[in-house]
Structure 1
Amino acid sequence: MRTARPRHYLMCRPTHFDVVYSINPWMDPKKPVDTQLAITQWEQLRQVYLGLGHTVDLIDPLPGLPDMVFAANGATVIDGRALVARFRDAERVEEAPAYRDWLRDHGFTSLHTAGFVNEGEGDYLFTGDLLLAGTGFRSDPRSHAEAQEYFERPVISLRLVDPRYYHLDTALAVLDERTIAYYPAAFSPGSRAVLQRLFPDAITATEADAAVFALNATSDGCNVVLPHNATGLAEKLRNRGFNPIGVDLSELLKAGGSVKCCTLELRSAD
């Protein structure tokens, strides 16, 4: 039996969502974006979280920051300590101080802004013991050592090799403290070997499911919220005792984001 644990999330309404630049392969400014549809889809995700009993706080969206909806990138928060992002791309740099200010104003007094490029939970996923850290496209590998020193937790470096999966949270999902799902082809051979050694019972996603951002998912240990068209991975999750819940975030995928990208977990001290 899987056990759900209530989570505390931070989200940002996509009031100013648009695709006006391209910093990943999913973004095409020439394609039309329906901001109102993005808001509707995002609100459905928020309602799913509330229906599951999770706490959802909101940070105010700022004009001129169309990617601020992707709250996962703003920081990594473990044991009540927050490591605030340092973005690679100039278009997103101003998101970091906004998230830092929100965290400070809401009681997270242990704050540190990363010294190297570090795109928050986009590239840092916590298993309850290990901190899995992605690199290859965004976060600087030197940020991994910085995170290990700050959180005093072991950090496992994983190299991404497919530019479509530019953040770790597009290629790997933490399902519970011992179980992950991932798309092997997104990782270098050495990183695949590490994942196989650490998580021999991991669920692997197909290319078709990875391409609809199946792994950009959140889990409370039982309920897994993921893109609604990730049907193959959903079936694998059911077979392993998880409860998959599909949502449609197709409008946000135009900017290379989905469920997890919209969701920053705020982990308090035990």
Structure 2
Amino acid sequence: MWTAITREVSPALAGCELSFVPRSPIDVVLARSQHAAYCRALESLGCGVIQLPALPDYPDSVFVEDVALVFDEVAIATRPGAESRRGEGDAVHEVLGSLRPLLRIETPGTLDGGDVLCIGKRVFVGISARSNEAGRAQLRELLAPYGYTVEGVATRECLHLKSAVTQVAGDTLLVNPAWLADASPFAGYRMIEVDPEEEHAANAVRVGDAILYPDCFPKTLARLHEAGINVTTVDVSELQKAEGAVTCCSLLLRTATTA
């Protein structure tokens, strides 16, 4: 079965860090309603949802993906590239530590979970403003005993690697090629390109054989349907104003079932 770790929306969401989207008014009440619907959608796809309470002093804390990485064998506490976010992870790490051995990225490394895309035993890490070479090197060392490889992927004009590419099926990626400075690391995968008019449309959450996807990208959604991808849509418009996306709002991990 799947477990999803989430966190309620902070009342300070409007004070979020922004890099590539303009600041605009955020309706926090609506953001909370949308987040609740997002959690229900995860449940409908077979996830047991663990929801942590909001952190009033951390505007970006709803985006739990950035503070940790989860693999079948181990979890890793990251060190976010934005200094303002480095106090968000304690409760997340406590939960993960009860489910996996917990390792850590240490100074001077920085690593945002949004920059990490794992496909089987291949781990792709965005070369971005939020994740540095020291962070990638530490991740490579931490994962080597478990048989994972780690390779950098240069991005441009976007916050994280998973702003530009996510996995939507076993051998299939959803990609905005304009935001990848070098797509060669993904040679060999089938690629579905986002519609050029929907540049933010490459971010999707994969849960088993289904994906959870924003409802505001109809042209790219049609391409997913044409490719035979099973899609559940959600409205995350207020979270998108905070430069968030559907992957950002949860940490997904496979958990063993008991007989």
TM-score, scaled to structure 2: 0.90
Unaligned runs of 5+ in 2: none
Is the aligned partner of 1:62 residue 2:55?
Answer: yes
Q: Which residue pairs with 1:223 in the alignment? A: 210
Q: Which residue pairs with 1:256 in the alignment? A: 243
Unaligned runs of 5+ in 1: 1-5
Distance 1:23 1:150 in 2: 30
Shift of 1:267: 4.1
Residue 72 of structure 1 contacts residue 264 of structure 1 at CA under 8 Å; is this kept in 2? yes
What pairs up with 1:1-270 in 2 under 5 angstroms? 6-26=1-21, 28=23, 31-104=24-97, 106-115=98-107, 116-120=109-113, 122-152=114-144, 153-162=148-157, 165-188=158-181, 191-195=182-186, 197-199=187-189, 201-210=190-199, 213-267=200-254
Shift of 1:141: 2.5
Identity across the alignment (%): 26
Residue 227 of structure 1 contacts residue 246 of structure 1 at CA under 8 Å; is this kept in 2? yes
Shift of 1:221: 4.1
Local SS of the residue matching 1:181: strand
Distance 1:100 1:110 in 2: 8
Residue 105 of structure 2 contacts residue 111 of structure 2 at CA under 8 Å; is this kept in 1? no
Residue 75 of structure 2 contacts residue 100 of structure 2 at CA under 8 Å; is this kept in 1? yes
Residue 11 of structure 1 contacts residue 69 of structure 1 at CA under 8 Å; is this kept in 2? yes
Distance 2:70 2:106 in 1: 13
Residue 45 of structure 2 contacts residue 207 of structure 2 at CA under 8 Å; is this kept in 1? no
Residue 27 of structure 1 contacts residue 256 of structure 1 at CA under 8 Å; is this kept in 2? no
Q: 1:222 to 1:103 in 2, by over 3 A?
A: closer
TM-score, scaled to structure 1: 0.86
Distance 1:111 1:127 in 2: 20
Q: 1:232 to 1:36 in 2, by over 3 A?
A: same
Residue 100 of structure 1 contacts residue 111 of structure 1 at CA under 8 Å; is this kept in 2? no
Amino acid at match of 1:180: L
Shift of 1:97: 3.0
Shift of 1:242: 0.9
Shift of 1:109: 3.1
Residue 16 of structure 2 contacts residue 59 of structure 2 at CA under 8 Å; is this kept in 1? no
Distance 2:89 2:225 in 1: 37
Distance 2:6 2:252 in 1: 9
Shift of 1:83: 1.3
Local SS of the residue matching 1:62: coil
Shift of 1:107: 3.2
C-alpha RMSD of matched pairs (Å): 2.0
Distance 1:126 1:269 in 2: 20
Residue 181 of structure 1 contacts residue 205 of structure 1 at CA under 8 Å; is this kept in 2? yes
Shift of 1:183: 0.6
Q: 1:55 to 1:17 in 2, by over 3 A?
A: farther
